[in-house]
Amino acid sequence: MGRLLSETADLLEIDGADSFRIRSYRRAAEAAEQTTVDLVAAAADTARLLEIPGIGKSMAANLQALATTGTLPLREELLTKYGVGLLELLKLPSMGPKTVALLWSAAQIASIDALAQAIEAGRLTGLPRMGEKQIEKLRKGIEDYRRSAGRFRIDEAEEAARRLTAYLLTFAGVERVTPAGSLRRGRETAGDLDLLVTGPACTPEKTASLVEYVAAYPGIHDMIAKGENKVSFHLGNGLQVDVRLLPSASYGAALQYFTGSKAHNVALRQRALKMGYTLSEWALATLNDESVVAAATEEDIYAALGMDWIAPELRENLGEIESAARHALPRLIEARDLRGDLHMHTVATDGHSTIREMADAAIACGYAYIAITDHSKNLAMTNGLDEKRALEHIGRIHEVDLEMEGRIRVFAGIEVDILADGTLDLDDEVLAQMEIVIASVHTRFEQSREEMTARVLRAIENPYVRILGHPTGRLLLRREPFALDTGLVLKRAAELGVAVEHNAAPERLDLSDRDLRLAKELGCKIVIDTDSHDARNLGKMEYGLRQLRRAWLGPQDVLNTLGPIELLKELRPVP
């Protein structure tokens, strides 16, 4: 809903609508993105919608129309007038509603293809704000967009950052390379990669040779720009990278600025102005004489503004500034808090490691326990276990548990399929012998919201289910979440004592940070697992931890921060 409201605001601005009306749609879009309320479910109750900050009576009516029809009449009206291509134009670099409005009014340009044709035909020459440099910038922007439209998973962005960091640190005089932007904030996907570089090599008289060194990076596909202290390029996979060379004296200010988010930075700058300061990428300075108050570290900047330092994952303007000012930020969960991993697969089904190899890798991670949870029979492509093989597998897991001689507990488990009607894929008699039963949807994603919700609710009613696995079924940038009344499912899981999983596999990261906040609000028990199919993948827990932190979760909110005995007690009791 947030995207549709935001697009409507953009279309209104292009149409020259009243600024107050435009702002009302932008506020509603932000509210829809940030609220943990299930807006589809809440649409039946106007009063409940009006309780959401930023939603007034007219906007509540719009949300109700969205929930009923999946669209907004005003948005459709504007798209009929201008065409859907305008929304694509807005995705080009530096292309805002005002520029799009200019192109429409002056040349009836309403799509990227039309813009490209107009550039080639020379039709933009002479238009206001359309000099040669701007036209060339638009041409390059179209090329970049066509090649690299879209986002990249957090693990892909992080791997690119690791390789570039290792390369940059080999240059004499480079002391520190820090990723900023979406990656530092732990967003599940990134549109680009910002790297901040500091050290003696970044001083004005020495940057020229470092710029050339950056530009010689062997992974560059094409160069976007090369200046005195910034190099921008695309990697072979299309990811845009901006490398910024910074003096150490302004490192903290730059790190704060380029980490974002935009909403967090705007709110922080407003606070600075109220206190008589101006905040930029160079420094926190006084308004009257521009003398520097803080710049070298983020901690100095936040402290000068009367706040505790805010973890990057929280910087989304969701109350973190107010909490930091009250010195009331939560202690967020960290890797050292985790005692185990409850979801992994072995060579018994579609994994690549044995039970013992998984156990040894978990010991190397410092874990006190794991659960082996191979697939059930419904997933034939994974060589899923039927009742007979499942019982034999339990025996093998117990054998390895004994072999470990107390160094780690190895729980016998299963990831059992939730069938289309909500029944489970193995008999209760077999499930009763498992210590950890995870129930997950792997098929029939096309079911309606009502069908899928009823399906999942029936599954978690089964008394042997202790964890609901990857609850929305999404695969990032590949498959949208299936239709589900997530709020209703989470509420019922909380009532039953069924834990909900945050699947830390970077292709899933399911539940999302927003749904994790909702799960906490509803009193759900939460676990974090890697869903590893290889012993080497246990380390991918870090990607999920960032989502937990983005949801403001601490160690007390996550069950597998407990020891093995306490964990089993806190999970849903088995009959």
Q: Is the pLDDT of residue 1 over 90?
A: no
Write out the E strands in 328-397. 340-341, 369-372
Residue 16 lies in a domain: yes
Whether 561 and 523 share a structural domain: yes
Check which CATH number belongs to the domain holding 534 and give it: 3.20.20.140
Q: What average pLDDT is seen over the chain?
A: 92
43-57, 130-144, 535-549: segment of lowest average pLDDT = 130-144
Strand partners of residue 439? 416, 468
Residue that wins the pLDDT comparison between 39 and 50: 50
pTM here is 0.82
Is residue 370 a contact partner of residue 410, using CB atoms and an 8 Å limit? Answer: yes
- Domain of residue 63: give its range: 2-148
Sequence-distant (6+) residues with CB within 8 A of 558 are 333, 337, 338, 526, 527, 528, 548
How many independent structural domains does the chain possess? 4
Q: Are residues 170 and 209 in the same domain?
A: yes
The CATH code of the domain that includes 262 is 3.30.210.10
Does 350 map to a domain? yes
Cα gap 311→302, rounded to integer Å: 11
Q: What pLDDT was estimated at residue 237? A: 80
**Pairing label, strands 369-372, 409-417:** parallel
Please indicate, yes or no, if residue 204 is contained in any of the structural domains. Answer: yes
Lowest mean pLDDT among 74-83, 163-172, 184-193: 74-83
Task: State the DSSP code for 405.
Answer: T
Dump pLDDT digits (tens) for 204-224: 888 999 999 999 998 898 899
Question: Do 488 and 564 share a domain, yes or no?
Answer: yes
Banded model confidence at residue 150, pLDDT cuts 50, 70, 90: low
pLDDT the model gives residue 144: 67
Residues 223 and 341 in one domain: no
In a domain, 575, yes or no: no
Does the residue 128 lie in any domain? yes
In a domain, residue 232? The reply is yes
Same domain, 401 and 258: no
Q: If you write DSSP's letter for every residue of 137-197 in order, what string do you get?
A: HHHHHHHHHHHH-S-EEHHHHHHHHHHHHHHHTTSTT--EEEE-HHHHTT-SEESEEEEEE
pLDDT in tens, 253-308: 999 999 999 999 999 999 999 999 999 999 999 999 999 999 999 999 999 999 99
pLDDT at 72: 83
Q: Which amino acid is at 556?
A: Q
- Shared domain for 400 and 376, answered yes or no, is yes
Kindly give the pairing relationship between strand 499-503 and strand 526-529: parallel
Q: Which of 101, 130, 148 is the last residue of a domain?
A: 148
Question: Which of the two residues, 5 and 195, has the higher pLDDT score?
Answer: 195
Give the pLDDT score at 404.
96
pLDDT at 292: 95
Q: Are residues 439 and 462 in the same domain?
A: yes
Pick from 104, 127, 148: which residue ends a domain? 148
Helix axes 112-121, 132-148, angle to 10 degrees: 140
Taking CB atoms within 8 Å and a gap of at least 24, the contacts of 13-17 are: 13/97, 13/98, 13/101, 14/78, 14/82, 14/86, 14/97, 14/100, 14/101, 14/104, 15/78, 15/81, 15/82, 15/101, 16/101
Are residues 478 and 530 part of one domain?
yes
Across residues 463-473, what is the average pLDDT? Answer: 97
What was the pLDDT predicted at 60?
86
Q: What are the pLDDT digits (tens) for 514-559?
A: 999 999 999 999 999 999 999 999 999 999 999 999 999 999 999 9
Together in a domain, 115 and 56: yes
pLDDT at 480: 82
- Does residue 365 lie in a domain region? yes
Judged against a pLDDT cut of 80, whether residue 67 lies above it is answered with no
| Residue 400 confidence (pLDDT) | 97
Helix (H, G, I), strand (E, B) or coil at 449: helix
- The C-alpha atoms of residue 119 and residue 117 are separated, in whole angstroms, by 5
Is the same domain home to 368 and 428? yes
Q: Is residue 330 part of a domain?
A: no
Tell me how far apart the alpha carbons of residues 343 and 321 are, in angstroms, rounded to a whole number: 36
Q: What is the pLDDT of residues 92-107, one digit of tens each?
A: 766 788 888 888 888 8
Helix (H) or strand (E) holding 378: none
Query: Are 132 and 86 in a shared domain?
Result: yes
Pick the more confident residue, 249 or 575: 249
Average of per-residue pLDDT across 376-399? 94
Same domain, yes or no, for 418 and 339?
A: yes
Q: Of 246, 269, 301, at which residue does a domain stop? A: 246
Return the CATH number at 53. 1.10.150.110
Mean pLDDT for the stretch of residues 432-455:
96
Mean per-residue pLDDT for 69-84?
82
pLDDT number for residue 267 = 95
The length of the chain is: 575
